[in-house]
A and B are shown apart, each in its own frame.
Chain A
């Protein structure tokens, strides 16, 4: 018997009387999720400390640029999660021989949250820096489309009844988003607009104090660990609710 306290506390289920190998997997996932959450908090605290207190202000923008500590990791996660979701959905779908809506339900909300956070912090940064919260340049417009794709996946997963056309729409949305992600990444290069160039890339990084760069990398890792936590816990809840629906 598995004690109810070891389940994620926000699962909408009663104490499950389940037994068998699922128990070990569920316990492993909860432990993993707790580990990732702790990692995320630790990395986040250190990163924010380095970035907000230790790193110097910039010549152009003063202290305002520190908002990139949240903006850049959120943007990176929103770009990373969509192809990861497509890959995971593809392999799960091949195994299940049907569209894996549980995978979508596990990942899409976190992706949508990251995209929303990226847009919101971007707007907060833009008002003092650019003089405008929004402009229809390539980067901003394509990220908005990405947000619409994430929310469309969520609407399909939770609000639309099961049917072959729902599954077809799901695959199309996954494909469109995966194609859109490299477009978003290269948009500042292909279409010069308002948004500045990349802060982090394979070739190097933007010019900033090394302390700030370290803080930024730590925040990226922290957001990644948080995303894993959220996805693991959500997936666990969905699996538990599916196996043991409330009577």
Chain B
């Protein structure tokens, strides 16, 4: 495409256009268009680095590099830069400043018209999970769903409840979890009663999965319960109990994993739960 701001006979513009013939994926940008880089992240100190080459109407290829600091709460961070009139030849976006696992940082590159986040999106160049070693790129990159592909597996230490209080862990804003396992200890007080913990998964209001512990715990005992996908109810000689549940449950933000304990007493005390989850960033 010949730049609208240049005469079709302008030698520099014609030469610049000719150079794009060797780069068929080049994206023409008017002076009103801008490159917008956005990111969602959970890794401390991670930044996005967007770099590439731009062919101006003067026929000069210029490289560029922009850094975007990211939040760690899955809330979007963006920067918008005008590159001028010409052709975006190539772009790569990767993580810098931190070592992140695939799925912990998601990046997107778009062409917008207008300022900052109120701009009109004209094109999405590439979108997907990035690391320091695995960028997203234009051209030849892909636009992937934020929940496509494997998530990032990580261990979460939950809240240590006070005595007489059940365990409850909530999927954070902007996240989607597949619960792989949850392990917790229960110390019962001297009150004569048989407690039976159940692992419950709900949407914040309505329960959609409940698995009872299958075994009771009497007074003055310490037992460890592990709920994990597959397997069967089992108890070993050390008093550790396995609770099977579905490992295909996908929990959206606001959903909860919690215990509901039959005969819970005021002096009973759960320890901090340890969860293993596969997490995708859905963003906020």
**Are A and B interaction partners?**
no
